[in-house]
Amino acid sequence: MKFTFRKEEKLKSKKLIEKLFAEGEHVKSFPLRMIYVKADHDYEKIFQVGVSVSKRNFKKAVDRNRIKRLMREAYRLNKHLLEKEITEKYVCMFIYTGRDEWKYAELESKMVKVMHKFIEKVNSEKSSS
């Protein structure tokens, strides 16, 4: 298994981002919030992912960029959890909602927790319908 985060996996389409915020559902584990929506994108990868940090909470771009880098790294190393359980194509966005910068180890554990909540929610929706 390769732990990569290639260009095809990055969420860049404005249409998909608009659809995500208009129709998406969410799961959260402070300080992370994951918004997701099932989408038929043309890429072979199952997930397209974006990360975001509020400018209101972190005025300096250096701080925002560091947090985004940590979030991408945590996703990259743990995305196998999602790929193992989910078969449909999804578009998702991880949003950092905290006001303080967290250490990488704490952020990674929260990322894993959010992913598990997402898997549970999707599987429960699948079984109920």
Amino acid at 116: H
What pLDDT is attached to residue 118? 96
Secondary structure, 3-state, the chain:
CCCCCCHHHECCCHHHHHHHHHHCEEEEECCEEEEEEECCCCCCCCEEEEEEECCCCCCCHHHHHHHHHHHHHHHHHHCHHHHHHCCCCEEEEEEECCCCCCCHHHHHHHHHHHHHHHHHHHHHHHHHC
Residues of the chain with pLDDT under 70: 1, 129
* Architecture field, domain 7-123: 2-Layer Sandwich (3.30)
Largest CA distance in the chain: 45
What pLDDT is attached to residue 64? 97
Peptide bond into 31 cis (omega under 30): yes
* 0.75 exceeded by pTM: yes
What pLDDT is attached to residue 121? 94
What is the distance between the alpha carbons of residues 121 and 95, in angstroms, rounded to a whole number?
18
pLDDT in tens, 32-52: 999 999 988 777 888 999 999
